């Protein structure tokens, strides 16, 4: 699929718009420009996409019909909403009232690894999108490949990203190989110093995360109680605030460094040099802020296969006894 035949002009436009976008963002709201994992950057303007409920678009900016891949998928399991006999607990659920467990990876046995994709959406990013400075924060080429090659993955969604991309969220939820997890509502920092992200007050932390579960839940699919802090920034106080929610905090042991990468090769090298059985790989599905991830993905998949490693849903990597 000629997904990126528009890459060169895209990059040229990104470069041309980057400085302007920075000025715009600074005038609007604080933005994490120096955050190498989570900062904002401009992409191509597509004003028509700034309207509410934007349709899914492919990498050429075209509106997509319903995905044919869906027809080959089995009915979506609704593990989160089921409570009948024989059903398993929601993945990631921990005992409410206790500080949540924090995990970096699963057991170093077997051959499974988890590919996780964060879907960031700050107020600054939403402004970029709605002003037309950025074309998309949803990298559909990643989804195309994962679906085509039947690769399991787990998506850490911010509530605001879900609100911007309901159609894409439906597409994620409809895939029985994809798990949905929580990445806060608006990608605020949960510690005082986190890559320049604006901080959320302690008293609002639990509500922010609970609200995000509420945004994601109606989409069904493979819901979880996995949670990832923006920038992976957390301290004892933040964990204590989340104790009522019964979540598992997932950091990851393989940081791909994909945001703002200028080429796919460093992403691939970062992943393949560190990945081991049980690894949790941190990637991004944010397109304009991580424009090379879809180009890195086939090389990552080939490298995993060459090492005998097999992508699996996060729940199955962290707990290999779960049915897969």
Residues at the site binding Zn ion, with contacts judged by CB under 5 A: 38, 118, 120, 230
Least distance (Å) from Zn ion to the CB of residue 275? 20
CB of 212 to Zn ion, least distance (A): 12
Nearest distance from C-beta of residue 237 to Zn ion, angstroms: 20
Nearest distance from C-beta of residue 175 to Zn ion, angstroms: 21
Residue 187: CB minimum distance to Zn ion, A: 6
Nearer to Zn ion, 118 or 147 (CB): 118
Helices (H), the chain: 7-28, 123-131, 140-148, 159-164, 166-173, 202-216, 236-241, 265-274, 293-306, 314-318
In the bound state with Zn ion, the residue whose beta carbon lies nearer, of 118 and 144, is 118
In whole angstroms, how close is the CB of 48 to Zn ion at the nearest point?
27
Decide: residue 93, CB within 10 A, 0-12 exposed, 13-18 middle, 19+ buried. Answer: middle
For the chain, percent helix, then strand, then coil, each to nearest 5?
40, 15, 50
How far is the C-alpha of 103 from the C-alpha of 268, rounded, in Å? Answer: 23
Q: What is the dihedral of CA 52, 183, 252, 297, to 10 degrees?
A: -10
Quote the CA–CA distance of 221 and 176 in Å, as a whole number.
7
Burial 99-127 (b: 16+ CB within 10 A, else e): ebeebebbeeeeebbbbbbbbbbbbbbbb
Nearer to Zn ion, 118 or 241 (CB): 118
- As a whole number of angstroms, the distance between CA 252 and CA 97 comes to 24
Residue with Cβ nearer Zn ion (127 or 284): 284
Cβ closest to Zn ion, residue 54 vs residue 230: 230
Least distance (Å) between residue 100 CB and Zn ion = 18
Task: Choose between 171 and 228: whose C-beta lies nearer to Zn ion.
Answer: 228
CB atoms within 10 A of CB 199: 13
User: 179 to each of 7, 114, 225, 251, 315, how far by Cα in Å?
Assistant: 29, 11, 10, 16, 8
Q: Which is nearer to Zn ion, 36 or 64 (CB)?
A: 36
CB of 142 to Zn ion, least distance (A): 15
Nearer to Zn ion, 103 or 174 (CB): 103
Q: Is 36:266 a contact under the CB 8 Å cutoff?
A: no
Question: What DSSP state is assigned to residue 155?
Answer: E
């Amino acid at each position: 699929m000629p997904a990126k035949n528009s890459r060169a002009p895209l990059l040229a436009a990104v470069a041309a718009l980057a400085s302007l976008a920075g000025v715009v963002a600074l005038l609007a709201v604080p933005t994490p420009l120096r955050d190498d994992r989570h900062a904002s950057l401009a992409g191509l303007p597509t004003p028509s996409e700034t309207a509410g409920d934007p349709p899914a678009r492919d990498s050429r900016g075209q509106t997509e019909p319903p995905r044919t891949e869906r027809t080959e998928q089995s009915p979506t399991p609704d593990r989160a909403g089921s409570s009948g006999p024989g059903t398993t607990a929601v993945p990631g659920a921990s005992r409410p009232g206790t500080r949540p467990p924090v995990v970096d990876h699963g057991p170093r046995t077997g051959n499974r690894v988890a590919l996780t994709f964060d879907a960031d959406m700050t107020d600054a990013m939403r402004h970029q999108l709605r002003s037309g400075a950025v074309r998309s924060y949803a990298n559909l080429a990643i989804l195309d490949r994962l679906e085509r090659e039947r690769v399991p993955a787990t998506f850490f969604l911010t509530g605001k990203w879900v609100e911007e991309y309901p159609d894409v969220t439906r597409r994620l939820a409809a895939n029985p190989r994809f798990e949905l997890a929580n990445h806060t509502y608006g990608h605020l920092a949960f510690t005082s110093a986190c890559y320049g992200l604006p901080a959320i007050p302690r008293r609002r932390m639990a509500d922010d995360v609970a609200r995000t579960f509420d945004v994601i839940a109606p989409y069904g699919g493979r819901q979880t109680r996995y949670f990832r802090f923006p920038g992976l920034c957390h301290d004892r106080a933040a964990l204590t605030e989340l104790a009522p929610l019964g979540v598992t905090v997932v950091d990851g042991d393989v940081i791909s460094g994909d945001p703002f990468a200028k080429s796919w090769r460093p992403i691939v090298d970062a992943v393949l040099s560190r990945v081991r059985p049980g690894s949790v790989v941190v990637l991004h599905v944010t397109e304009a802020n991580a424009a090379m991830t879809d180009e890195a993905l086939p090389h990552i998949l080939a490298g995993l296969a060459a090492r005998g490693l097999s992508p699996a849903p996060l729940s199955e990597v962290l707990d290999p006894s779960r049915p897969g």
